[in-house]
Every structure is written in structure tokens, then in C-alpha cells.
Amino acid sequence: MTEIPEKLKIGPREGVSYPIKVQYCGNCSMPLEYCEYYPEYEKCKQWLEKHLPSEFEKVKLEEESQGADGEGDDKKRQKRGGKGMLKSKKKEEGPKRITLSRAPRGKKKSVTVVTGLKTFEIDLKVAAKFFGQKFACGSSVTGDDEIVIQGDVKDDLFDVIPEKWPEIDEDFLEDLVTKKDRFCLK
């Protein structure tokens, strides 16, 4: 195996903004960078905290640094270099997201499609085998970062995945079918 040069490695780096994917706010439906111009910015932040905690951390840090001139400067700087900083760094390692969706197969059957496990450095073959055993059904790697499970097990996966891989918080799991509904619940 050849060593990957540092600059070709995947993953965000400090101080660089990534146009990889525009993320939209579920509250005002604008790209996140426009939220602060929205009258209900507080609500946007609440939404952000709940759905995109890593983005929320960034907003918080930015706000803190903006307010960091003048009095209380030292105090704030201490805070920024403290626990909160470490936590946000860890969470920003990469654009991680696992999607779970149901796809029709034949007239009555459906399969479950799981994508994104690779972003957590999970061996897809091992994962597919695990799902197959867990649900006693067919399960195979069908793409670069895709597993198809023969059966409608999507709802179970929300429990099974974080249980099997504790590093995957339930927040990383995105339900592709109900996502739309959730965005309408303004």
C-alpha cells in the first residue's frame, strides 16, 4: 500500500471552509450561512443545535470570537480553548451522515438501503454480514458505500446501528423518507 500524502487525505482541516455540501436550515429553509439574517435566528439556532450539532458548535465559536474584543476577552478565550473546543474538533472530522431508506422491490416486498457507513470507517462487508445475521435475511454490499438489506428493517436500524457501533450517534442517522416531512414541521 502506498502512503497517502497529507494534502490528499480526506477530511476537513482547521481554518478551511468546505463547499462540499450546502446544508440547509430546517427552520428558515435557507443555507445555514444566511440564518443570521433571518428574523427568527434564535429558532434557527435551536434547530441547528438539535439537528446539526457540529454546525451549531461552529456558530457558537464564531459568535464568541466576534464578541471577544474589549472586556471579558481573556475569559472568553479561555472558554474557547477549553472543553468545548476539543469536543467540536472531534465532531468535525468529516461530513459524516448515514442514510436509511426503504426501496420497493416487487409488489409487496421492500428492501432497506443503508449508505454512509464507510464515512465511519466501518468495513462494509462486515456490516452487511452483521445485518444479515441480525435480521436473518439477505444483505449485501451493493455500491461504494451502500448496503442493501432484503427486508424492511429500516426502523430497527435506528436502534441496531448505534448499538453495534457506539461511535455512531443516532443523530447521524438520516431517515430519507421522513426527512421531507420533518422539514415541513416548521
C-beta of 26: minimal distance to Zn ion in Å? 8
Helices 41-51, 53-66: inter-axial angle, 10-degree rounding:
130
For 182, list phi and psi in degrees, rounded to 5: -60, -40
With contacts defined by CB under 5 A, name the span among 38-46, 106-114, 144-152, 158-166 that binds Zn ion: 38-46
Sign of dihedral through CA atoms 95, 96, 101, 103?
Answer: positive
161 binds Zn ion (CB under 5 A): no
Closest to Zn ion by CB, 35 vs 128, is 35
Nine-digit cell string for 157? 436500524
- Name which of residues 13 to 32 contact Zn ion (CB under 5 A): 25, 27-28
With contacts defined by CB under 5 A, name the span among 34-42, 64-72, 141-149, 172-180 that binds Zn ion: 34-42
C-beta of 33: minimal distance to Zn ion in Å? 10
C-beta of 184: minimal distance to Zn ion in Å? 15
Find, among 59, 44, 65, the residue nearest to 92 by Cα. Answer: 59
Q: Distance (Å, rounded) from C-alpha 68 to C-alpha 74? A: 8
In this chain, which of 14, 19, 31, 35 binds Zn ion, going by CB under 5 A?
Answer: 35
44 binds Zn ion (CB under 5 A): yes
Closest to Zn ion by CB, 58 vs 76, is 58
Helix (H) or strand (E) holding 147: strand 146-149
173 binds Zn ion (CB under 5 A): no
Closest to Zn ion by CB, 35 vs 52, is 35
Helix (H) or strand (E) holding 127: helix 124-135
C-beta of 30: minimal distance to Zn ion in Å? 6
Strand ranges, E, within the chain: 98-105, 109-115, 139-143, 146-149, 173-175
Binding site for Zn ion (CB under 5 A): 25, 27-28, 35, 44
